[in-house]
Each structure stands twice: as structure tokens, then as C-alpha cells.
Amino acid sequence: MNTTIGILIPFIGTVLGASLVFFSKNKINKQFENFIFGLSAGVMLAASIWSLLIPSIETSKTILPAVFGLTSSFIFFFLIDLFQNKKKHHSNKMMFAITLHNIPEGMAVGVAFASFLARTNSITLASCYALSIGIAIQNFPEGFIVAVPLKQKGYSKIKSFIYGVVSAIFELLGALITLLFTNIITVALPFLLAFAAGAMIYVIIVELIPESDSKTHTNTIGFLIGFLIMMLLDILF
């Protein structure tokens, strides 16, 4: 039951964010958008460090799986980018990017709970929930960012909302698939924790930072707030 609730929390965060399309105006305020990109980047970076990389090193008692996992993750997602159509419309590209990076986020939650279920002693249930809540916090505005640009393109509110939910479903699938193989992946958990961290850091570098505008520093403020929130969640729990 704890695991089920844990993997549903990020999904619910995205769905609630997408539901705001029913109350939104047609255009996203640029300052708000920059703040959200920064917030998401801050949460994801803090989660990568405290919820994934540190447990990876503590579980394996060596830094090698973390280095290998990070490197493999960057190579994997770089290869995916090579096959991505770079000429997509901005809103379609953002939807694709958010949907794509929801997969490793879901995997990160799944790996964390798999580590807890495997009784590795590197991750507590509270730490797993902290990761889920942190990802849900940054998923909330992401659901909004997916749905509203589609509404701007002429999609109905309901259809825009559904696309936002679809992006969340991929995150849920990433967590479920990881959990299904809990017994099999126990030995590989240090590597997988680092792989999930690498995926989230890659998204920060490739998608979130380039999409934000640093001139007004709202993204910087958002990053600091997001990082502090996730860091506090991890330390307190």
C-alpha cells in the first residue's frame, strides 16, 4: 500500500497541474514559465543528489557504480536526442521532452521503492516519500506547461488536459516496470539509482536550462526554492 501511494503521488501532481488548463488564460506568463523551469531544475538536482546518488554510493560502498550509472545515462539519453526531430513545434517539443523525462523520474521513484522493498538499508520509506513528494511538486507546474500550449494551438480544454495526463502515465509506467523487476534488479540497484540520477540531470541541462530566460533571474529564484524544498524534504525525512 505504501509503495502504491508513493508511485501515485507524482502522477497526481501532474494531473492536478494539467487540470489548471480549465481555469487558465490562453497564454502562459513568461516570468511564471521561467520560474517553473528553475523550480523543476532545483527539485530534480536535489533529488538526484540526496535521493539517488548518495544512496547509490552508500549501497555499493564504492563510487564506481555511480560513475558508471551516470555516464551510461547521459550516453543513453544523448542517443535518444539524436533521433528526436529537432524541427518540432515548440509546444510539441516541450510536451515530448516532459513526457520523455517523466520516464526516468518514474523510474527514479520505482528504484527508490525497490531499494526499500529489497531492505538494502540505504533508503528509508520516509526518504522514498520525500522523493515522490519532491517530484510531485515540480510535476504540478509541468502538467500545466504541457496542457496550456496545446490549448493555445486550438485544442479543446478536455483534449489538452488528456495530453497532460498522458505525459503523467508514462511516469507511472516507468515506476511500475521498475517495481515489477524488484527481485531481479536488487544487485544492480546502485547502478540503477545513479542511472536515474543521470537521466534527471541530463533533462536539467538539455531541456530546462535552455528553455528558461536568465535575464530576469526568475529562473534562478525558482531553482533556489526548488533545491531548498527538495533538500529539506530529504534531510528532514
Q: Is the pLDDT of residue 85 over 50?
A: yes
pLDDT at position 26, please?
60
pLDDT at position 16, please?
92
**Percentage of the residues of the chain whose pLDDT score is greater than 90:** 9
All three cell numbers of 187, joined, read: 544487485
**Percentage of the residues of the chain whose pLDDT score is greater than 70:** 83
pLDDT at position 237, please?
62
Q: Is the pLDDT of residue 77 over 90?
A: no
For residues 111-140, average pLDDT: 80
Which tops the pLDDT comparison, 46 or 144?
A: 46
pLDDT at position 79, please?
85
pLDDT digits (tens, 9 = 90+) for 94-108: 566 566 667 767 877
Total-model pTM: 0.69
For residues 26-30, average pLDDT: 69
All three cell numbers of 175, joined, read: 515506476
Q: Would you list the DSSP string of 28-83? A: --HHHHHHHHHHHHHHHHHHIIIIIIHHHHHHHTSSHHHHHHHHHHHHHHHHHHHT
pLDDT at position 100, please?
63
Domain ranges of the chain: 2-19+30-236
pLDDT at position 224, please?
92
pLDDT at position 71, please?
94
pLDDT digits (tens, 9 = 90+) for 188-228: 778 877 887 888 788 788 777 776 666 778 888 989 998 99
pLDDT at position 87, please?
47
For residues 7-29, average pLDDT: 83
pLDDT at position 108, please?
76
Kindly report the CA angle at 168 between 24 and 39, in degrees rounded to 5? 65
Query: C-alpha distances in angstroms, 118 versus 114, 123, 127?
Result: 6, 10, 15
For residues 160-176, average pLDDT: 85
Q: What is the residue-averaged pLDDT of the chain?
A: 79
